[in-house]
Structure 1
Amino acid sequence: MLQKIKTRYWNLRAKVRAKSYQGLFSVINFAVWCRHLPDLFASRRCGTPEISARSACCIDVDSGKVVAQKNHHFRYAPASIVKLATALVLVSSGKLLKDEYVTIEASDVAEPVGSSMKLKQGDIVSYLDLLYGMLLASGNDAARATARAIGQTMLQDESATGDPTIRFVAAMNELADSLGMKSTRFCNPSGQDLWRQYSTACDLAILASAAFSNPVIQDVISVREHIAKIQGDNARDEALLSTLDNIDRTQVVGGKTGTTINARACLALLLKQRSGERVVIVTLGSELDSVTEGERRITSLSRYKDMEKMIEHVQSPGTGFRG
């Protein structure tokens, strides 16, 4: 009974926040629409299929050319697509090369809602398994543990004090600046809703291009399952299943999902054309199908229907790709 009350509370709070966020983003995006009005008219030449997503962007990875877009400069909540930035900071830290491990703390697993890789306090996990946990299973616990541990190392290297997670998030924003993501602000490593955290389909396509071009990250997103070796007093094998489903994987290398009440259903995919070109497609805010009580499972078939339409558009004549 207590768990049901807690779950109901979190669902109601999420809905209230979602209404507030949507109103705030509406005001911001109207200003963006006015500023980018000439670009928006010009970009119609790219063509965009009818999709339920609020925003979308498709770019050629090698040239950076925008192939198709919908409201791609508008700001929205990015959900777990944020974990691509978390993953890039992790890979650049060198922790994977050193084969280091993290001891999980209570704060890493404290959040009662959202996806996880089922970590428990006291678990000892390799950074590689944390990478699989955040990208394959979209584990918020994996992202928090990574940020806390690497952030602490950053502070020690700088002989500084402070909150390690805040230091890690600063590195995420430094990464965004270096990639030219001008309309992005990260506030946490997991992508859970915060009104100060936002991005655009255009910026996230840039981020996804950088992340999916990394060979380690590309290996992680391309598999459907990974067995994490958890050590400690509660040693076990934990099966991590990809959250990417309901999509034809023929030409799809892999991708990253993101889902919250406010952001709705988001998706970033790496598509490899038969002709060799690599394309990244990002859709933000596809319609949600349901929110299940208890485990708070949020589903969306619309996300995949939107993505299928975007893929068909990219492969159609006139886009510059041979398919």
Structure 2
Amino acid sequence: MFGCGSLFIADAVPASADEEILAWPAGPNLTGDGAILMDADTGSILYEKNIYERFYPASTTKILTTLVALENADLSEIVTVSYAADNYVSKTSSRMGLVEGEQVTLEQALYGIMLESGNEATYAVGEHVGGSIARFIKMMNWKAQSLGCTRSHFANSHGLHDDDHYTCPYDLALISRAAYGNEDFMKITGTATFAMPTTNKNPEKLLTNHHWFLNGTQKYDYCIGGKTGATNQAGYALVTYARKDGKTLISVVMHAPTWNDVYADSRKLLEFGFDNFNVYKMTQAGDSTTAGGVEETLPSMFDSENKFDEDRRELLSTGTEGIIILPSYALPSDTKREVILEPGTEIGHGDNVIGHVTYTYGERVVGSADIVYYLEDDPMTQEKYNKEWPRFLIPPEEAFTDLSSRTRIWPEQLESTRKEKPMELRPLMYGALIAAVILLLGAITIIIVRKRRL
């Protein structure tokens, strides 16, 4: 058990890390009015242009729509298209072709949303997942707020223009990064074409992804997904996921003048990221090979390895494989490391998040991860106990009275049992001695009585 409160530990940047070394690469000139390039694994911002300015997202809204649906419903659920879904969305806007009364799985509807940008499908999914379209829109805003989106408000599920429906490049990147963490989302958004099976209202048809980097003449080999968006007020917007040489990047371009411009800007951003940055494991940033190089900064109350089990699981580690992204001319040793320990009041069996480690390069965050303390919770079985005995010097038959129950026995319990055993034996020994004395006295008394009678 640990007390509440936080412990802050920071490393100084090496003296050799002067201002020139800490400079950040200059990015490309773009035609879009707002843009951001974010590393998907660390959340580090590699490029920014008006990232907090308000823009209309158009159909890039559907990234949030799809994410909320995936997190609140099962892909196999049946979505029935209502009259409102079919008729309250413009018939001339982008649609996947659903009609009133049509039944599709949620998965099929989401393919229609992300590939064909089906506006009517977002309405149908919203009604199904939220119970009503109004509640689903509230769910979208709740999700955005939970991700730290402070400059966004969503008024519909599809992105058709509404003055009260807006975001900024930074918020849209946060949403896109959250979606990146969802495997089903990445599978859907990275699909070039999807064979939509026959339904109760429509024959089989092929859905095609509108993202030119996945389809079309501007195909980009490293693209793994994304979403397009365009309205008169929003201009042209594009979100792109791309992966190359161990780096996964998210580019967001907003309010570009043409489709060609928004794709050119996105390609420039991605190439800038791939050409000018390297990724490192957090273990390369410190002297230790455990917990992202933070082991030596942690209090000695934590064991660094499991000495009880031969499997030797690390007891102190980062929650995920920590990654740092840096300019190609920088080294992990140029970073500053900050550790904040915030253990809860209880440390339970299994994984326990006890803090957070953050790496900065200059004023920029270039990597972060949870610090996890693992408390072994494997049950002590008869086989395992026999293997360890006589380390604890307690015979197995005394430790296990009911082998079928596989009762958990911890080393500290065994230790206390060992200490208490002598105390338990003393009363028995005293009792036996007294009984023997009484019997002896009784026998002597009987002999004396018999002799007197004789």
Change (3 A) 1:321 1:226: farther
SS, match of residue 313 in structure 1 = helix
Task: Determine the structure 2 residue equivalent to 1:258.
Answer: 229
Task: Determine the structure 2 residue equivalent to 1:238.
Answer: 205
- For the Cα contact (< 8 Å) 2:52–2:168, is it kept in 1? yes
Are positions 1:101 and 2:78 aligned together?
Answer: yes
Tell me the amino acid that sits aligned with residue 226 of structure 1: F
SS, match of residue 89 in structure 1 = helix
1: CA distance, partners of 2:54 / 2:222: 29
Bigger RCO (CA 8 Å, 6+ sep): 1
Are positions 1:268 and 2:245 aligned together?
Answer: no
The partner residue of 2:172 within 193, 204, 219 is 204
Task: Determine the structure 2 residue equivalent to 1:277.
Answer: 247
- For the Cα contact (< 8 Å) 2:153–2:165, is it kept in 1? yes
Are positions 1:138 and 2:117 aligned together?
Answer: yes
Tell me the amino acid that sits aligned with residue 240 of structure 2: L
| CA-CA distance at 1:221 after TM superposition | 1.1
| CA-CA distance at 1:130 after TM superposition | 0.6
Q: C-alpha deviations, 1:153-173, integer Å up to 9, x for none?
A: xxxxxxxxxxx1110000000
Tell me the amino acid that sits aligned with residue 79 of structure 1: A
Are positions 1:315 and 2:292 aligned together?
Answer: no
Question: If each structure's helix is expressed as a fraction of its own residues, which one has the higher value?
Answer: 1
SS, match of residue 228 in structure 2 = strand
| CA-CA distance at 1:236 after TM superposition | 1.2
Task: Determine the structure 2 residue equivalent to 1:57.
Answer: 36
| CA-CA distance at 1:231 after TM superposition | 1.8
Tell me the amino acid that sits aligned with residue 219 of structure 2: D
- For the Cα contact (< 8 Å) 2:25–2:327, is it kept in 1? no
- For the Cα contact (< 8 Å) 1:115–1:137, is it kept in 2? yes
- For the Cα contact (< 8 Å) 1:81–1:257, is it kept in 2? yes
| CA-CA distance at 1:318 after TM superposition | 5.8
- For the Cα contact (< 8 Å) 1:184–1:199, is it kept in 2? yes
SS, match of residue 134 in structure 2 = helix
SS, match of residue 197 in structure 2 = strand
After superposition, the CA RMSD in angstroms is 1.7
Task: Determine the structure 2 residue equivalent to 1:170.
Answer: 138
Task: Determine the structure 2 residue equivalent to 1:127.
Answer: 106
2: CA distance, partners of 1:91 / 1:66: 26
Q: C-alpha deviations, 1:13-63, integer Å up to 9, x for none?
A: xxxxxxxxxxxxxxxxxxxxxxxxxxxxxxx94533111111001111121
1: CA distance, partners of 2:265 / 2:91: 30
The partner residue of 2:70 within 74, 77, 91 is 91
- Identity between Structure 1 and Structure 2 (%): 26
- For the Cα contact (< 8 Å) 1:48–1:70, is it kept in 2? no
SS, match of residue 187 in structure 1 = coil
Tell me the amino acid that sits aligned with residue 265 of structure 1: Y
Are positions 1:305 and 2:264 aligned together?
Answer: yes
| CA-CA distance at 1:94 after TM superposition | 2.7
Are positions 1:220 and 2:191 aligned together?
Answer: no
The partner residue of 1:66 within 42, 45, 51 is 45
Tell me the amino acid that sits aligned with residue 315 of structure 1: F
| CA-CA distance at 1:308 after TM superposition | 1.3
SS, match of residue 258 in structure 1 = strand
Find the structure with the greater CA-based Rg: 2
Farther off after superposition, 113-122 or 196-205? 113-122
Are positions 1:179 and 2:147 aligned together?
Answer: yes
TM norm structure 1: 0.75
1: CA distance, partners of 2:65 / 2:83: 20
- Structure 2, gaps ≥5 residues long: 1-22, 279-325, 329-454
Tell me the amino acid that sits aligned with residue 254 of structure 1: G
2: CA distance, partners of 1:201 / 1:301: 19
1: CA distance, partners of 2:74 / 2:179: 17
- For the Cα contact (< 8 Å) 1:269–1:282, is it kept in 2? yes
Size of the aligned set, in residue pairs, is 253
2: CA distance, partners of 1:310 / 1:256: 16
1: CA distance, partners of 2:139 / 2:277: 40
1: CA distance, partners of 2:47 / 2:57: 19
Tell me the amino acid that sits aligned with residue 70 of structure 2: V
2: CA distance, partners of 1:188 / 1:247: 30
| CA-CA distance at 1:109 after TM superposition | 2.2
Task: Determine the structure 1 residue equivalent to 2:357.
Answer: none
Q: C-alpha deviations, 1:92-112, integer Å up to 9, x for none?
A: 11321xx11112122212222
Tell me the amino acid that sits aligned with residue 266 of structure 1: A
| CA-CA distance at 1:230 after TM superposition | 4.2
